[in-house]
Amino acid sequence: MLQSNSLKVLATFTLAWLVWRVLKRFFLPHPLDHIPGLKPSSWIAGSLAQVFSQDGWDFHDRMADKRTSIFGTLLHRLQSEQYFAPPASSHKGVQDQQTLESSDDMLLVNEIIFGRGLLSTTGAHHRRQRKMMNPAFTTAKMRDLRRKYSPVTHVLHGPTSPPCSYATPYPIDMMDRLSRAALEFVGRGFFSTTFESFKDGYTPPYLSSVSDYARVITLPDFILPRFLFLDYIRNLGSPKFRRWVIDHLPWKNLHILRDIVDAMHGTGEALFQDHLDAFGRGEGEETDILNILMKSNNSALKEDRMSDSELLAQITTLNFAGFGTTTGSITRILDLLCRHPDAQEGLRREVISTAAKYRDGDIPYDELVSLPFLDAVIRETWRVYTPLPLIVKQVNQDTELPLSRSYPATNGALMTEIFVPRGTMFVLSLNACNRDYAIWGDDARVWKPERWLSPLPDTVIAAKIPGVFSHLMTFYGGQKACIGYKFAELEAKIVISLLLRRFRFSFSDKKIIWKMNGLNQPIIEDAELDQHGLPMLQMPLRVVPLSDA
């Protein structure tokens, strides 16, 4: 009897607590209610679906059209209120990363998918890992990578190389070709191995998995469950039990995600074991990024060393980060050069005249990274079309968020700072910051690479954007800046300079549609489905060898 009464009391208390939480979310005012923004599309889900929509470009542009540096819209009411809040918070987020960290949701998802690596650690733990990895990403190491990439570049521009031929009169899927090249760049540069991406008739299992990961994890049926339930079920039962539940749930997209993660993790384990064996024999490529990391880790103090599971996590992280953002960036550059043929011709003249000075046509690293118009094209593409448009941050303690200038609140008062309560999560739009009218002028959304060939406007300098790359937030900043941004820059410059020296690109009759899948990714209208049942990523272009032009 006593036990029965206790259970009733517990059940009553739990129900009352849940009712209070719901009533509080729906009816009590919130400190951020005075921030101007768009009306949420749903009373319950707020603007969650719009913010993370794969077709969300228009929504984000409408938010930015308010021409303010701070604007908000409720994401959903069932947990801590979450707001879309862009450029004004950039400085605070970079300079005070203990107060504004990656959200618990993102840290948890990244830990489950990639392990305890750079994308899922914070504070001192993250700093120790980053310190261990920094020696692998110096300028000297980038020069070494330039030499290691020659085999990939020769296959990439070969006139009849698999899996497609530039000699064909039909459009060529440059998304497929550049994805294979990006995977080989990662394999050879990071791990001194090949994924055999250009082997005739063969598609590496890892290639399709890593290509689909970003768009699967941002599907609508994952977003709300991630925010609401993931933290409570992450340690439910044993790993074997959780896997059994995943296997038997009638949830197709969850099974797709499971298979993707299995392929990514299996590839990482194989690479790690190969390097462990070679490292134990005293072998390994000196310029291999993983080998450098393992040596750095082995020579560190015992308390600072990463465990084997952490080293494995860095492999899966590097594989994904090194592949995903660069593939989207390079395909977007080709898309823009097709839209702006004059820019394509100007860039072609620059790289051809530079390559002509060298017997083998390979432009040395220092000159390649300094080509002015090539540099301008890449900077402008990364400004207007940020490879990773959004990141999710979380306030870990009550804080005053300073604004770069004053803005009117919904009650008419001018805001110079905003009080943000502990636990608030918000989406930081790197894209909105890079295309801020107040910083870049009325043509902020216009792709104009020539703007980088002259001194930048005073407003750009005065803004003091804290990004690690060229007055932009493209690769974020501070301790959470992208550690491999020099690798991404080098790969883009190698590939674009090489392709334009040999081919002229133009659109086919297929309309290209860009999706906001966490990363920027292209598909076409009426696209066929891939092995995961998703619209196939592709960008068919007409490619004409210059000798035939």
Counting beta carbons within 10 angstroms of the beta carbon of residue 34, is it exposed (0 to 12), middle (13 to 18) or buried (19 or more)?
A: middle
Alpha carbon distances (Å) from 351 to 336, 413, 500: 17, 54, 8
- Rounded CA-CA distance 54/217 in Å is 11
Q: Which residue carries 């070709």 as its tokens?
A: 177
Q: Phi/psi zone of residue 143: left (φ > 0), alpha (ψ -120 to 50 degrees), beta?
A: alpha
Beta-bridge partner residues of 400: 419
Annotation: binding site for heme: 482
Amino acid identity at 164: C
* Closest CA relative to residue 156, chosen from 129, 117, 134, 182: 182
Pick out the residues of the known binding site.
482
- Closest C-alpha to 321, from 514, 481, 202: 481
Q: H or E segment at 513?
A: strand 512-517
Q: Which of 526, 495, 500 is nearest to 175 (CA)?
A: 495
State the DSSP H helix or E strand holding residue 463, giving kind and residue range, or none if neither.
helix 458-463
Give CA–CA dist 46/50, Å, rounded.
9
Torsion of the alpha carbons at 264, 270, 271 and 275, rounded to the nearest 10: 160
